[in-house]
């Protein structure tokens, strides 16, 4: 098991944001967390990245306890995140943003590094066209591509994707999910937080539903997508 989360509890001050959640992410899978705004999805990813402190419980990555590991060390171990809201460095070019994603690497003049740049540009041809353009001048969809590409530059074994479809047009959403599938097929395990539950469940091998900081349902993505109660609560009655 690549990622093991056991009894995780996280607070914001005196408020319990995450209460005793447990789930696993198998290596090679796409696993998704879905739920309404405020359910605790983003907090979970921030905690897995080391940005939020754990009050109780444990996080293991490839068998190693990383519950209290620093964010930098988690990236070095192979966990990388594309954050909610993209968070591109707007004053930097596309190429400079990609370089920032590789800050833990010391092989920037190597053939392997250029191969990783080429891989990202092959996944996102639009970025190749904008390689010397300032990120702040690009569209929301282009910035989302850049955020994912930047995360890939750390060569993660596990990529955390936080709301990759937020604010995008339907055509772009379909494109982003197609690329997520391709990233996974290339060997990167994916943990996806997504408010677009229909798309997320279609993409996921395993899925967990969060409500007010607790996991209330778990199962295969296809099973939850076909469940009438899930459809009614999260999919507008249809999928």
pLDDT in tens, 96-135: 999 999 988 888 778 889 999 999 999 999 999 999 999 9
For range 50-63, the mean pLDDT = 97
Residue 84, pLDDT score: 81
Using the CB atoms, write b or e for 2-40: b if 16+ within 10 Å: bbbbeebbbbeeeebbbbebebbbeeebbbbbbbeeebb
Distance of CA 170 to the CA centre of its chain: 19
Closest of 84, 48, 47, 46 to residue 164, by C-alpha: 84
User: How much is the pTM?
Assistant: 0.92
Residue 72 within any structural domain of the chain = yes
| C-alpha to C-alpha distances, 182 to 24, 55, 115, 123, 186, nearest whole angstrom | 22, 36, 17, 8, 6
For range 37-57, the mean pLDDT = 95
What CATH number corresponds to the domain at position 48?
A: 3.40.50.300
| Radius of gyration of the CA atoms of the chain, in A | 17
Residue 108, pLDDT score: 76
Could you tell me if 225 and 202 are in contact, meaning their C-beta atoms sit under 8 angstroms apart? yes
Residue 30 within any structural domain of the chain = yes
Q: What is the DSSP letter of 137?
A: G
User: How far apart, in whole angstroms, are the C-alpha atoms of residue 88 and residue 93?
Assistant: 10
For the packed helices 111-123 and 140-152, what is the interaxial angle rounded to 10 degrees?
A: 150
Residue 66, pLDDT score: 98
Q: Which two tokens stand for residue 231?
A: 């459809």
Using the CB atoms, write b or e for 185-213: b if 16+ within 10 Å: eeebbbbbbbbbbbbbbebbbbbbbbeeb
Domain total of the chain: 1
| Top-confidence residue, 112 or 80 | 80
133 three-class SS = coil
Residue 32 within any structural domain of the chain = yes
Residue 109, pLDDT score: 78
Closest of 174, 166, 170, 113 to residue 143, by C-alpha: 166
Residue 239, pLDDT score: 38
For range 151-170, the mean pLDDT = 93
On average, the pLDDT of the chain sits at 92
Residue 53 within any structural domain of the chain = yes
User: How far apart, in whole angstroms, are the C-alpha atoms of residue 128 and residue 120?
Assistant: 9
In which domain, by residue range, is 45 found? 1-78+158-166+188-239
Residue 228 within any structural domain of the chain = yes
Residue 23, pLDDT score: 98
Residue 136 within any structural domain of the chain = no
Locate the DSSP E strands across 152-223: 158-162, 189-193, 206-211, 214-220
Could you tell me if 38 and 195 are in contact, meaning their C-beta atoms sit under 8 angstroms apart? no
Task: Give the largest Cα separation in the chain, rounded.
Answer: 53
Strand order in the sheet with 206-211: 79-82, 158-162, 189-193, 30-34, 206-211, 214-220
Phi-psi region of 162 (alpha: psi -120 to 50; beta: other; left: phi over 0): beta
């Amino acid at each position: 098991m690549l990622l093991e989360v056991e009894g995780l509890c996280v607070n914001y001050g005196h408020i319990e944001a995450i209460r005793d959640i447990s789930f696993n992410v198998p290596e090679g899978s796409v696993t998704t967390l879905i739920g309404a705004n405020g359910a605790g999805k983003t907090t979970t990813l921030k905690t897995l990245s080391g940005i939020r402190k754990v009050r109780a419980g444990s996080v293991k990555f490839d068998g190693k306890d990383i519950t209290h590991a620093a964010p930098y060390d988690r990236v070095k171990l192979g966990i990388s995140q594309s954050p909610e809201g993209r968070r591109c460095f707007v004053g930097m070019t596309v190429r400079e943003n990609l370089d920032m994603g590789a800050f833990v690497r010391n092989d920037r003049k190597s053939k392997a590094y250029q191969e990783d740049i080429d891989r990202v540009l092959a996944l996102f041809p639009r970025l190749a066209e904008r390689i010397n353009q300032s990120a702040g001048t690009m569209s929301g969809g282009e910035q989302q591509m850049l955020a994912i590409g930047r995360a890939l530059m750390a060569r993660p074994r596990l990529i955390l994707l936080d709301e990759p479809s937020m604010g995008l047009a339907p055509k772009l959403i379909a494109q982003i999910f197609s690329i997520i599938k391709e990233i996974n097929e290339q060997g990167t395990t994916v943990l996806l937080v997504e408010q677009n539950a229909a798309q997320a469940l279609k993409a996921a091998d395993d899925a967990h539903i969060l409500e007010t900081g607790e996991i209330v349902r778990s199962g295969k993505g296809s099973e939850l997508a076909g469940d009438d109660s899930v459809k009614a609560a999260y999919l507008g009655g249809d999928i």
